[in-house]
Structure 1
Amino acid sequence: MSEDKRSDDAMRVDTGLIRQLADLLAEKDLSEIEVEDGERRVVVKRKLTAAAPAVAAAPVAAAAAPAVAAPAAAPADAVQDAASHPGAVKAPMVGTVYLSSEPGGPPFVSPGATVAAGDTLLIVEAMKVMNAIHAPKAGTVKQVLVQDAQPVEFDQPLVIIE
């Protein structure tokens, strides 16, 4: 019977711990957490949406990035309007946005600039990977809705192209 008890102990799972780890994954936007305690090891993973392909750009130093003159804080209605705008280019991931390829460099685009489909609009750094965000269509940049080195959320509007 003592053998059965040992096998029961080995199969005991702390569901509360697993729930806490799963909540932490979502809260911190992580894809995996691993915890070891003696002989026990728990790995909790979640699927993330596919990110845009990484760009082979020069690394961008967040601390040295110059601040771009930003418009006054937009009211919540303006953000809602930008999100529903048919020309809104949204963030495909959580990260830090950079408007140029290097600190102090010229921005990829600015309001009034004409872009072709596939042109680089900006870069979103996620987990030390620089991801170029490309124009989905040709048009004119009407607004750049983010500042250089600003953190962005998934599906946040970044640029409006008309």
Structure 2
Amino acid sequence: MGDHKDNGINIDPAFVRALAELLDDTQLSEIEVEDGERKVRVARTLTAAAAPVVHAPAPVATPAAAQAAAPAATAPAVDGFADAVKSPMVGTVYLAPEPGAPDFAAVGSQVKAGDTILIIEAMKVMNPVTAPAGGTLKAIHVENSQPVEYDQPLFTIG
């Protein structure tokens, strides 16, 4: 495949596909490469079925990026966090509704489906992450004010 001309910029589809594969391999949500005056940015949409939140998804540069991201989202976890609720986005975790307030929930406490366990701040928007089911909060895998990545284990309910 050769370069394609789009708005005066030469685009190498193989290079864009390679960047999309790099996103999948490294679990990053976006990558930007600059070469002289040419700049290429590839991003993937962050979604999660376990914890619904309101956020603006990043644009996907190519269908290859979306296809590369799909298997990672549906693959079962192999590590010790198979039952953990994972982060639906990149941001900063807060365990309490505001500084000085008690945490939303403590390890060992009973929670109901829909109870807010923590919030993730992303782009100055506070996104609640709720319990997908009722039970005992077995573990919280993050600390207050900690930055988190997409699909990082947050907490486990048993």
Shorter-chain TM range is 0.5 to 0.7
The separation in 2 between residues aligned to 1:124 and 1:49, in whole angstroms, is: 14
Partner of 1:97 in structure 2? 93
**Which one has more relative contact order, counting CA pairs under 8 Å at least 6 apart?**
1
Displacement of 1:31 in angstroms is 8.4
Displacement of 1:12 in angstroms is 5.3
Instruction: Call closer, same or farther: CA 1:15–1:144 in 2, change over 3 Å.
Output: same
Number of aligned residue pairs:
123
Structure 1 runs (4+) deviating above 2 angstroms are 25-33, 41-47, 49-55
Partner of 1:125 in structure 2? 121
Identity of aligned residues (%): 44
| Larger Cα-atom Rg | 1
Helix, strand or coil at the partner of 1:124: strand
Instruction: Call closer, same or farther: CA 1:134–1:12 in 2, change over 3 Å.
Output: closer
2:131 equivalent among 107, 131, 135: 135
- Amino acid in the other structure paired with 1:49: L
Is 1:112 paired with 2:108? yes
> Unaligned stretches of 5+ in structure 1?
1-7, 56-79
Displacement of 1:14 in angstroms is 5.7
The separation in 2 between residues aligned to 1:101 and 1:154, in whole angstroms, is: 21
Instruction: Call closer, same or farther: CA 1:128–1:141 in 2, change over 3 Å.
Output: same
> Unaligned stretches of 5+ in structure 2?
56-78
Match runs of 1:29-40 below 5 Å: 29-30=29-30
Could you tell me the TM-score, scaled by structure 2's length? 0.59
